[in-house]
Amino acid sequence: MSKSNGIIDLRSDTVTKPTPAMREAMAWAEVGDDVYGEDPTVNRLQSLAAEMLGTESALFATSGTQSNLLGVMSQCERGDEYIVGQRAHTYRFEGGGAAVLGSVQPQPIEFQEDGTLDLDAVAQNIKPNDFHFAKTRLLCLENTQEGKVLPLHYLAKASALARQNGLSIHLDGARVFNAAVKLNVPVHEITRHFHTVSFCLSKGLGAPVGSVLCGPKDVIDKARRWRKVLGGGTRQAGILAAAGIYALTHHVDRLAEDHENAGRLAQGLAQIRELNLDPSKVQTNMVFFTIEPSRFKALQAYLKERGVLISGREKVRLVTHLDVSAEDIVEVIGAFKDYFSR
């Protein structure tokens, strides 16, 4: 699909619009009251998600922030702690929800260059069984992490470390299907290493709303209660769940197109000497570059005039998605080159 309303929006893959076929599925969705567990389309989405990810159960949530919070609160108690990356979405971009609403303390550690957490550092940050400390209960990983895919062998080691230390392990898998497509494996080959997994329907998969938390039935049962407490109980939600079903059955394999477009974009922009960009680091649908901070605002304004939206400052992230075509990529590269050749 090409640009919408004359705009090529590279700020995030959250900006995707439902396709006509997805809208059709939403319009004719069978609905019921999901708070009572009676919405058949929500139930089908949850069953499909659990089957695809290889988990016992699943729960539809309104957002990735909510499903991550449900994952933390359903596996930790007040005064517990979870280990997480310093720049992880669950720590930095979710309003401190685990601490504010769950009274769960984060223990952040730095990401490595490849998006992993150093497992020796993880082990060193697991607190001893001493009442002076918060009790470490959960390890939280992110895949993809800023577009980088975590290797399967690393996931196996991280899972083993967590289990050896009595920790649960949660995956913020907002873009886990991007990771699966990049690795050319079924998504359950990634998610089998985790107790719980949150993934987004409303990013690269193209649904307008929603995320799903997958895991064991006892954890999902707790999460269902916390979802109600957090105001996430919805009634005839099948209209939204239908979009999720459509996304999971029609939009997973096409994520490879987004990855190809990101690679083309990176190769084109790498020719501009004013941008610091390494195309070899682009693995999925994100391209990062740095620029002299004083030049960003002017670049951003110029591109907006050309119908291209970007965001950032000295570090800029460009995200390809369902609504960005190969033709759009050519247009974007041309707009960048025109700006720097003036």
Same domain (yes/no): 172, 302: no
Look at residue 1 and tell me if it is in a domain.
Answer: no
Look at residue 21 and tell me if it is in a domain.
Answer: no
Domain membership of residue 298 as a residue range: 8-16+254-340
Look at residue 142 and tell me if it is in a domain.
Answer: yes
Same domain (yes/no): 199, 52: yes
What does the pLDDT profile of the chain (342 residues) look like in tens digits?
Answer: 445 578 999 999 999 999 999 999 999 999 999 999 999 999 999 999 999 999 999 999 999 999 999 999 999 999 999 999 999 999 998 999 999 999 999 999 999 999 999 999 999 999 999 999 999 999 999 999 999 999 999 999 999 999 999 999 999 999 999 999 999 999 999 999 999 999 999 999 999 999 999 999 999 999 999 999 999 999 999 999 999 999 999 999 999 999 999 999 999 999 999 999 999 999 999 999 999 988 999 999 999 999 999 998 779 999 999 999 999 999 999 999 999 998
CATH of the domain at 260: 3.90.1150.10
Same domain (yes/no): 150, 69: yes
Same domain (yes/no): 190, 290: no
Look at residue 124 and tell me if it is in a domain.
Answer: yes
Look at residue 22 and tell me if it is in a domain.
Answer: no
What confidence tens digit (pLDDT) does each residue in 107-139 have? 999 999 999 999 999 999 999 999 999 999 999
Look at residue 289 and tell me if it is in a domain.
Answer: yes
Average pLDDT, rounded, for the chain:
96
If DSSP states are collapsed to H, E and C, what string results for the chain?
A: CCCECCEEECCCHHHCCCCHHHHHHHHCCCCCCHHHCCCHHHHHHHHHHHHHHCCCEEEEECCHHHHHHHHHHCCCCCCEEEEEECCCHHHHCCCCHHHHHHCCEEEEECECCCCCECHHHHHHCCCCCCCCCCEEEEEEEECCECCECCCHHHHHHHHHHHHHCCCEEEEECCCHHHHHHHHCCCCHHHHCCCCEEEEECCCCCCCCCCEEEEECHHHHHHHHHHHHHCCCCCCCCHHHHHHHHHHHHHCCCCHHHHHHHHHHHHHHHCCCCCCECCHHHCCCCEEEEECCHHHHHHHHHHHHHCCEECEECCEEEEECCCCCCHHHHHHHHHHHHHHHCC
Same domain (yes/no): 93, 238: yes
Look at residue 194 and tell me if it is in a domain.
Answer: yes
The total number of structural domains in the chain stands at 2
Look at residue 23 and tell me if it is in a domain.
Answer: no
What confidence tens digit (pLDDT) does each residue in 198-217 have? 999 999 999 999 999 999 99
Same domain (yes/no): 173, 245: yes
Same domain (yes/no): 215, 183: yes
Claim: this prediction has a pTM higher than 0.85: yes
What confidence tens digit (pLDDT) does each residue in 265-287 have? 999 999 999 999 999 999 999 99
Same domain (yes/no): 302, 229: no
